[in-house]
Structure 1
Amino acid sequence: MFGSTRLTSGGSSSPGRRRKLKAVLAGGLALGVGATISLAAWNDSEYATGTFTAGSFSIEGSTDDTTYAEHSTSGTAAALAFSTGFDNISPGDVVAAPFAVRLTAATTYDATVTVASATPDLPAFTGLTYGIATVPTFADCSATPTSPTWIVAQGTALDSVAGAVPFNLTQGTPPTTPGAPAYLCFVVTADAALVQGSSVTETWQLLAESV
């Protein structure tokens, strides 16, 4: 009987012990499966990159259709060469000056250009009006220009750009060369309000926008 009791005690375990053992084995099995999946995982990547470079854009002008330069501020404005009599003008006189404008070499856009401002150094000055036309060639500018397209109407006050019409410029072909010039003709007319001995300096701004 004592032997039977020892055999029963040492040869079998209670249901609680069996459940605990199964729980431990199950936990160990789950850990083993998880480790195997991690070790078998694969990774791969793709990368893409882009480089962006801004274009170039500027205009330049010439008072003789030969030497071009940039005149980007009112302080560096090109001095127009008006026709004879501009420095001794009287009522009824008309004087004119040509100006060529083009896109610089390496410019990578076309442009639309507008006469953006007209500024007399004496704001209340009277006796002079102006107009600006595009003409086919530099030599076509005169007091009565040849085949003009008026981008600012004749008779406009010195402090006004009312009704200014844009004109177009195209980039050079290839872009490493300057674009074809547009020829402007500035025409100034004296009227009866002009005071003897008076003088005024007028500054025009041509504003180009890329298109």
Structure 2
Amino acid sequence: MGSRSPGGRRRLKAILAGGLALGIGATISLAAWNDSEFATGTFSAGTFGIEGSTNGTSYAEHPTAGTAASLIFSTGFDDISPGDVVAAPFAVRLTAATTYDATVTVASAAPAPPAFVGLTYGIATVPTFADCSQTPTSPTWIVAQGTALDSVVGAVPFNLTQGTPPTTPGAPAFVCFVVTADTDLVQGTSVTETWQFLAESV
């Protein structure tokens, strides 16, 4: 083989050096392994609702004061005088498909006109719809008798349970309103009282 010029050797070394650099780069690329894991979750909100009945059979929702259920009071409510007592039953339950139990409280009582006097009330839970009367059977008072029409002071919550299975309505609670007339009642006057039952999921 003939001798090469110094310039030729420099070129050969430069080519070999380039080849070595290319080889190192290829080795690093092949060693870059990777892998992945993914996780996902789907979240669905539950449902919650309460409904009431004035006859213990037919239930409907009454979500605003303007759509309040009209209670059916005992005889004499429309001709009441001092010393009279009248009562009305009401049933409440959780709606079908409700997925939570509930705590229920008498949250407000609003007479119209607001300054009306001469009537007081109490609310009790009773074992059955028929146990509501002027003297309820086995009452548990959730608002004490003698409470002013515009007050819910001391109201005690009661519980409702979702249906089993939850596609059915829950078991009802039976509520008894007892209204008493006192000597402050003015002849010929009238008042419309609206109570709010507030249910909170638990």
| TM-score, normalisation: structure 2 | 0.91
SS at 1:37 equivalent: helix
- Which segments of 5 or more consecutive residues in structure 2 lack a partner in the other structure? none
2:188 matched to which residue of 1? Answer: 197
Matches within 5 A, 1:74-85: 74-85=65-76
Aligned residues: 200
- Tell me the amino acid that sits aligned with residue 88 of structure 1: D
Find 1:127's aligned residue among 113, 118, 121.
118
- Which segments of 5 or more consecutive residues in structure 1 lack a partner in the other structure? 1-9
- Tell me the amino acid that sits aligned with residue 38 of structure 1: S
Shift of 1:23: 7.0
2:99 matched to which residue of 1? Answer: 108
Find 1:175's aligned residue among 157, 163, 166.
166
- Tell me the amino acid that sits aligned with residue 79 of structure 2: N
SS at 1:87 equivalent: helix
| TM-score, normalisation: structure 1 | 0.88
- In 2, the alpha carbon distance for the partners of 1:11 and 1:107 equals 94
- In 1, the alpha carbon distance for the partners of 2:26 and 2:36 equals 23
- Residues 1:158 and 2:149 are matched in the alignment: yes
- Tell me the amino acid that sits aligned with residue 193 of structure 1: D
Deviations 1:144-177 (A, max 9, x none): 0000000000000000000000000000011111
- Residues 1:29 and 2:16 are matched in the alignment: no
Q: More displaced, 193-202 or 23-32?
A: 23-32
- Residues 1:99 and 2:90 are matched in the alignment: yes
What is the aligned-residue identity percentage?
84
Deviations 1:173-210 (A, max 9, x none): 11111100000000000000000000000000000000
- In 1, the alpha carbon distance for the partners of 2:146 and 2:13 equals 106
Shift of 1:25: 4.2
CA RMSD, Structure 1 to Structure 2 (Å):
2.0
- In 2, the alpha carbon distance for the partners of 1:173 and 1:69 equals 20
